[in-house]
Structure 1
């Protein structure tokens, strides 16, 4: 009997032990460990949101989201590109270049990396480096009309007008309604003293989009031969974009010295006095 009770007690203890184990297992919380694939999807989703915020002008929020996406997945060059764009929007140019270098280490065959670098170098007044970056990008994507146009702008800065004109022409062949390239051809030809061709190009740009820049450019071209029309065009240009009243702003838009001189003479016309004052007032109010 004693031995029987010993067996019963032993079986009970074993049963109690297993019961306790099962009970403990039943209350251990279940943790979800995401797979690498799920993490990559999540980081991509966050990256897209960051990019959308950039579009809507929410630059600081975009930057924070882009940083989060990189923390989750730092091996995606697209996320580094988005982070760089957010850093550029927040004037963090050095950080943006570092991000683009990271992207290049991951995939050096991505043209957008070099185009973004050129954008930064132009902003920090390093056109030579911008030119090198653009040329690298164009080796990968030779028919990018915007990059060709930007390279033409650098040649415009260097006063290589014929080289700039050829590149603008190349970008127009790829995208015929690219009025910005047509306009900048007009800028280049004016500095080459080919006023008639500048007039034709500015008119062509206006026919695509009636923007303040070709309007004022055309006005400056015809100010001697058709003063009344020049004044009318200048009024319209300043009403559309008052910033063009400013010499330094036009210089930022790559206007050469000859066109600048002609424009300054035009803007001194008595019939434009009120328009010039109004444009300068609008600039002050918006600053």
Structure 2
């Protein structure tokens, strides 16, 4: 009987133990605690979504997602770069610089951070800071033809035309068919009153890509030499990109005072008036 009783008690205790465990499970919920690796992976996924929204012009949504990604993971410079880009898109330039400074603390030898900082400084018209940031970035990535091109553009803004031409040469040596740099050399030569070299560079840019800018630049060069060809080129340029009818737009593309004046005189020609009216109407329709 005692043996039976002991056996019964043992069975009872075992049953009680399992009952208690099951009861505990029914009261205490199960939580999944993500690992650091999981969180980092999730933050990068959110960051990619934020970057994609930027591409589609959904700037506010992009900014909110980028902020969320940073809240999850503050140690990835790529996420700070995405946040900075979203902030720039929303015209939050000072906040973008703060984000880029944080990215720089994480990865001080990442050239993209310095190039992004330069872009922000250009937005707020701080040319010296923009130039310094570009030069720092180029110290890590010396063959980045786009960054070298941007440095040349800053020199154009500063009206340092001879130095701008030399810098554009560096980018062209890296990428020989870089028509934008060749075009901007044409702009620089015009401001130096070297019209023959300006013509040569606009023609070379057109031979690579028949873009509206070198077409109109060449038309402005030929205004005094061959008015018929100049008119033909100007008409083609305005058809390709009506925005070039606008003085302020050309100024944004770094056109200097001399080529601007030449273009304005060209646009006074009676044979261009219909084309100018049509270009302006297209701009108004798209705005």
TM range (shorter): over 0.9
Note the C-alpha offset of 1:285: 2.4
Q: Distance in 2 between matches of 1:56 and 1:207?
A: 32
Q: Which residue of structure 2 lines up, in the alignment, with residue 77 of structure 1?
A: 77
| Structure 1 residue ranges (4+ consecutive) displaced by more than 3 angstroms after TM superposition | 3-17
My pick for the range that moved more, 265-274 or 237-246, is 237-246
Note the C-alpha offset of 1:17: 4.3
SS of residue in 2 equivalent to 1:103: helix
Q: Distance in 2 between matches of 1:203 and 1:266?
A: 18
Q: Distance in 1 between matches of 2:131 and 2:23?
A: 67
Q: Which residue of structure 1 lines up, in the alignment, with residue 187 of structure 2?
A: 187
Note the C-alpha offset of 1:111: 0.6
Q: Which residue of structure 1 lines up, in the alignment, with residue 37 of structure 2?
A: 37
Note the C-alpha offset of 1:139: 0.8
Question: Once the two structures are superposed, what CA deviation does each residue of 1:136-165 show, in whole Å capped at 9, x if it has no partner?
Answer: 111111111011000101111111111100
Question: Once the two structures are superposed, what CA deviation does each residue of 1:243-273 show, in whole Å capped at 9, x if it has no partner?
Answer: 1111111111111111111111000000001
Q: Which residue of structure 2 lines up, in the alignment, with residue 99 of structure 1?
A: 99
* Residue 246 (str. 1) matches residue 246 (str. 2): yes
Q: Distance in 2 between matches of 1:190 and 1:71?
A: 51
Q: Which residue of structure 2 lines up, in the alignment, with residue 142 of structure 1?
A: 142
Q: Which residue of structure 1 lines up, in the alignment, with residue 23 of structure 2?
A: 24
My pick for the range that moved more, 56-65 or 214-223, is 56-65
Q: Distance in 2 between matches of 1:175 and 1:33?
A: 50
Q: Which residue of structure 2 lines up, in the alignment, with residue 270 of structure 1?
A: 270
Q: Distance in 2 between matches of 1:183 and 1:191?
A: 13
My pick for the range that moved more, 42-51 or 233-242, is 42-51
Question: Once the two structures are superposed, what CA deviation does each residue of 1:186-232 show, in whole Å capped at 9, x if it has no partner?
Answer: 00001111111111100111111111110100000001111011001
Q: Distance in 2 between matches of 1:37 and 1:150?
A: 38
Q: How does 1:1-287 map to 2 (within 5 A)?
A: 14-15=13-14, 17-27=16-26, 28-287=28-287
Question: Once the two structures are superposed, what CA deviation does each residue of 1:22-71 show, in whole Å capped at 9, x if it has no partner?
Answer: 22244343221111111111111221222222222222222222112111
Q: Distance in 1 between matches of 2:98 and 2:286?
A: 33
Alignment root-mean-square deviation, CA: 2.0
* Number of aligned residues: 286
Q: Distance in 2 between matches of 1:184 and 1:175?
A: 15
